[in-house]
Amino acid sequence: MAMINLRDYYPFCDNCTVEVSDEVAEVLREAERKERNYIERVRWHKAHYSLDLHGGAIENYALDLSPSPEEIYERKLKHDALNLAFQTLSPAQKRRVYAHYIGGMTKSEIALAEDVDESTVRESIRSGLCKLKKVFHIFF
């Protein structure tokens, strides 16, 4: 059994020492080491900005967090489902949906680039999204 001072964890506690099992003491020491390592990584990388930037990618890198096998598998399933769903679209729908949602082009820019009416592009994207929704509904 180990004795710990709760003041180390709770500053408002006045001289509170408790006896805890060795496993609990080791977990507390490990948490303290991880916190110190995190602070050192932030200092070393001069990361004095939000580590949540880009969906937490910077924080995950700084903490050396790698995705779990379950997360990797789920990403693969979603990626495969998206590829399969895109295969069901016609070439024009595929091109227009990709240009609008991935490429960030407006519908009028797509219509101008393809020399078609904007309503044609709108209808093509709408029907493409309906097909994608049906395919994704089957998988998820």
Tens digits of residue pLDDT in 11-24: 787 778 889 899 98
Q: In the predicted model, is pLDDT for residue 75 greater than 80?
A: yes
Q: Is-above-0.95 flag for pTM?
A: no
Tens digits of residue pLDDT in 25-53: 899 889 999 989 988 888 887 766 665 55
Tens digits of residue pLDDT in 98-110: 999 889 999 999 9
What is the rounded distance in angstroms from the CA atom of residue 44 to the CA atom of residue 41? Answer: 5
CATH 1.10.10.10 residue ranges of the chain are 69-139
**Confidence (pLDDT) at 6:** 81
> In the CATH hierarchy, which fold is given to the domain comprising 69-139?
Arc Repressor Mutant, subunit A (1.10.10)
Q: How far apart are the first and last CA of the chain?
A: 50
The answer to whether the beta carbons of residues 97 and 128 sit under 8 Å apart is yes
